[in-house]
Amino acid sequence: MAAKIDQTQVKKVAKLSRLDLTETEAAEFTGQLSAILEYMEKMNELDTTNVQPLAHCLPISNVFREDAVKESLGTEKTLANAPQRDGEFFKVPKILDEI
Amino acid sequence: MGELRYRVVVGLEIHVQLCTKSKMFCGCALSFGEEANSRVCPVCLGMPGVLPVMNEQALEYAVLVALALDCKIAEFTKWDRKSYYYPDLPKNYQISQYDLPLGSGGFIEIPLEAGRTKRIGIIRAHLEEDAGKNLHTAGNFSQVDLNRAGTPLLEIVTEPDMSSAAEVRTLAVELQRMVRYLGVSEADMQKGHMRFEPNINLIITKDGVEYKTPIVEVKNLNSFRVLERSVDVEEQRQLDEFLETGEVMGMGNKTTRGWDDINQVTVLQREKEEAPDYRYFPDPDLVPVEFKCEWLEDIRSRLCELPIKRQIRFVDEYKLSDYDAGVLTAERSTAEFFERVVAAGGKPKRVCNLLTQVGLKLANEKGCSVAELDITPKDFAQVSNDVDGGILSASGANKAIELKAQDPDKPFSVIYEENNLIQKSDVGELEQIVEQVIVDNPKAVEDVTSGGKKSKKAQSFLLGQVMQKTKGQANPKVVSEILDRKLG
């Protein structure tokens, strides 16, 4: 059986996920991911003709909260774990283009 | 070159911030202008292990708008994660609705000139969370403020049914009026509560052949002016480009442009090598939403008469001009106050003049609605009727309202008296003054009686003299009648 995913796809997914993979890692993960996808393929053997797609694994819906304000962390606590800050802002590498 | 005709085709994507108290999935207060990163909690910070929970009010607001847009409401809907790698949403995905939007297949009616309307199709309406703000500094880094991250955001997508920049603007304004009527958003443009993304292209007929130019999406416009302008600018640019390159719409040649307000042009945004891959999938943190009949009916009962319908009714029912009806229905509170004054006995056209000439001006100065001026509908009706009854002149009426706003406890009888606002309509008293004016101005009298071309002007002059002598208090209608009688 042919591999379910090739290195080009793995590199693309890695790029989308902002993961920096070495060539060795890309090859290694291609093998691992293919094995997983092959295993998942087994599910196609099931007849799902009359099965509705599942949006959530819990058989419940409509879990809401009331529109009430709770205290926020405040600027100091919010920024406590930030690698870098600039005054009351998070400081990040310059963003060149926006969505 | 053969004959060339073209028309512009525009569809619009609109984002509206809903005015809930708290964010979409956590209890942080919505904010504007607070200290950066002060309205943030582990949920909207995207910390591991946190659990978002839906704000029921946000969902109801969104459904209310979808119903007002005549959308079909999904019986079952869910939340999806849209992968998004920008620091303004630290989870690295935006919670949105992908294949099951809460509303779809609706329409909105927009006013055109002369009381005509046009129906614009609505493809879908769905709820999502807003991102934070990236601020670009002079330095080699960006600043991030996450106060806005997680604010409930309603996205509305129209069919490409608009055929001019003016129509696009009209739709945006109508939608603003609608969400304000429904009380689901302040829709304050200055605060970024509404943002627009028009999709624009041209259908060109050249030498009997029809061509479609590639679609351009202009991102993130936040004023009606810029929205309208960008469509106009893009229309011309696409025409020029087509004439130069002949490029037509094809697979994958849709582009994204930004607006450069300084140069009033659209600018191509850096094209990505591949189409964005958002990798949507159902959010396992959030359970689905099912709209049961009862709940939907409860929300539906909160709908009000929509502004465009009210505007048309005001023209029909109160015989107002389309313009006046538009001014009165711009804000729900003004429209409702107008109807209360009419119910209190005021004549519609007179009441409309009072409200638009002085009521709205005062409200604007005080930064409140006309209903909050401390002047009751009964007060307005009285002043309105006093003008109709000849007691006040139109300008005297405006003055009376202004004085009442300053001193709401003072009765009108006193306000009229103290400020000499009551018109003199007593024929006997006015006759004496008219006679004196006739004696003092023989030349003008001659001009009137000789009936020449100066006659009309001379008569106005005499009327003016009487008004002067009475310090503007004479009822001009009565004075004219006396003059006619005496000189006729």
Domain-embedded: residue A96: no
Q: Chain-wide mean pLDDT for chain B? A: 92
- What is the pLDDT, as a whole number, of residue B299? 97
CB pairs under 8 A between A and B: 138
- What is the pLDDT, as a whole number, of residue A99? 42
d(CA B431, CA B423): 15
* pLDDT (tens digit per residue) in B28-71: 999 888 999 999 999 999 999 999 999 999 999 999 999 999 99
- What is the pLDDT, as a whole number, of residue B436? 87
The mean pLDDT value for B290-310 works out to: 96
Hey, are the CB atoms on B37 and A96 less than 8 Å from each other? no
Domain-embedded: residue A69: no
Long-range Cβ contact pairs of A85-89 (< 8 A, separation 24 or more): A86/B137, A86/B141, A86/B143, A87/B36, A87/B143, A88/B35, A88/B36, A88/B37, A88/B38, A88/B145, A89/B36, A89/B37, A89/B135, A89/B143, A89/B144, A89/B145
d(CA B362, CA B359): 5
Domain ranges of chain B: 4-298, 307-418, 427-487
Mutation for testing the A interface, residue in B31, B53, B222, B287 having most A CBs under 10 Å: B287
Strands B152-158 and B117-129: antiparallel
Hey, are the CB atoms on B36 and A75 less than 8 Å from each other? yes
Higher-confidence residue of B191 and B446: namely: B191
Check CB contact of B284 with chain A, cutoff 8 Å: yes
Which one of B36, B87, B270 has the shortest CB-CB distance to A97? B270
Instruction: Name the 3-class secondary structure at B452.
Output: coil
Which one of B53, B87, B284 has the shortest CB-CB distance to A92? B87
- What is the pLDDT, as a whole number, of residue B425? 75
Residue identified by tokens 């359970």 is B287
B3-12, B103-112, B343-352, B408-417 — which is least confidently predicted? B408-417
Check CB contact of A15 with chain B, cutoff 8 Å: no
| ipTM associated with this complex | 0.86
Burial category of B26 from C-beta neighbours within 10 Å (exposed 0-12, middle 13-18, buried 19 and up): buried
Confidence (pTM): 0.87
When pLDDT is cut at 50, 70 and 90, the band that residue B451 belongs to is confident
Task: Please report the sign of the dihedral spanned by the C-alpha atoms of residue B29, residue B34, residue B40, residue B46.
Answer: positive
Tell me the HSE value of B472 on the side-chain side, using a 13 A CA sphere.
Answer: 8
- What is the pLDDT, as a whole number, of residue B220? 92
Indicate if the pLDDT at residue B273 is higher than 70.
no
- What is the pLDDT, as a whole number, of residue B47? 94
User: Could you tell me if residue B472 is left (phi over 0), alpha (psi between -120 and 50 degrees) or otherwise beta?
Assistant: left
A75 to chain B, minimum CA–CA distance in Å?
4
Percentage of chain B modeled with pLDDT above 90 = 72
B100 to chain A, minimum CA–CA distance in Å?
11
d(CA B80, CA B100): 9
Hey, are the CB atoms on A67 and B56 less than 8 Å from each other? yes
Check CB contact of A94 with chain B, cutoff 8 Å: yes
A64-78, B88-102, B140-154, B243-257 — which is least confidently predicted? B243-257
* pLDDT (tens digit per residue) in A85-97: 999 999 998 876 5
Question: If one looks up domain B427-487 in CATH, what number appears?
Answer: 1.10.10.410
Strand partners, A65: B55
* pLDDT (tens digit per residue) in A34-49: 999 999 988 889 998 9
Between residues 56 and 95 of chain B, which touch chain A (CB distance below 8 Å)? 56-59, 76, 78, 83-87
Hey, are the CB atoms on A72 and B279 less than 8 Å from each other? no
Which one of B78, B135, B269 has the shortest CB-CB distance to A55? B78
d(CA B237, CA B217): 13
* B296 touches B331 (CB < 8 A): no
* pLDDT (tens digit per residue) in B69-103: 999 999 999 999 999 888 899 998 999 999 999 99
Q: Chain-wide mean pLDDT for chain A? A: 89
* pLDDT (tens digit per residue) in B471-481: 778 888 888 88
- What is the pLDDT, as a whole number, of residue B122? 98
- Report the domain count for chain A: 1
The mean pLDDT value for B219-230 works out to: 96
Indicate if the pLDDT at residue B454 is higher than 70.
yes
* CATH code of A13's domain: 1.10.20
When pLDDT is cut at 50, 70 and 90, the band that residue B7 belongs to is very high
Domain-embedded: residue A18: yes
Residue type, B393: S
Domain that holds residue A28: 7-44
Which one of A74, A94, A95 has the shortest CB-CB distance to B86? A95
φ and ψ at residue B168, rounded to 5 degrees = -65, -45
